[in-house]
A = this chain, B = another copy of it.
Amino acid sequence: MKINKKDLILASASPRRKELLNRLSLDFKVHPSNINEDQYTADYPVDLVKLLAAEKAKDVGSSYNNAIIIAADTIVVYKGQVLGKPENERAAFKMLVNLSGAEHYVYTGIAFNIIENKTPVLISDIDCSTVKMRDYDDDEIYEYLNTGEYKDKAGSYAIQGYGSLLVKEIRGSYYTIMGLPVHKLADILPEYNIKLYNKI
């Protein structure tokens, strides 16, 4: 069932997610969520990103009567441990040493909150990608850290930047690793009358 076109809202402050929607020439507004992420827990990381994406979409949705909210949450998991954003260069170094020559996982939860006349419908999903790193050495890590790119990045690297040099191969969606599985937009948004392929 097609419904009327709604405002599209990105419930995220991430410049990467904003860039990805911009690349698709989508007309959207940015409205980050204010939830306190620390109050949520789940038995498994995969459940936590799905929950956090959903809670962000619900939180931002409460400000709108008619809108489609897109929210996402991304974590990096290595040997069962969640790698967050590094506190400092030393923490980033440690993470990148561990990841060298090894495989890790990137989970991104994505949630759509479709609100019509104040009535929300929530759709949430999860996408996982595997990342295999090159067998880089400590000197290369120091060079990478010097670029400053590691800051504010879960896992201490950015696959779309200099971090592209550290990554040997992936399995899954590249965009999930960047923080937004865009192919999920193609599964959902057209149902709600959001046109995806806007002429260049």
Contact = CB atoms under 8 A, between A and B. Distances in A.
A36 interface: no
Nearest to A167: B183
Contacts of A134: 183, 186-187
A23 interface: yes
A136 interface: yes
Consensus secondary structure, chain A interface: mixed
A90 interface: no
A169 B173 contact: yes
Interface in A159-183: 159-162, 164-175, 182-183
Interface residues on A, range: 35 or more
Interface stretch (A5-13, A37-45, A106-114, A191-199): A191-199
A24 interface: yes
A29 B96 CA distance: 32
Interface stretch (A46-54, A76-84, A140-148): A140-148
Contacts of A182: 164-165
A30 interface: no
A165 B185 contact: yes
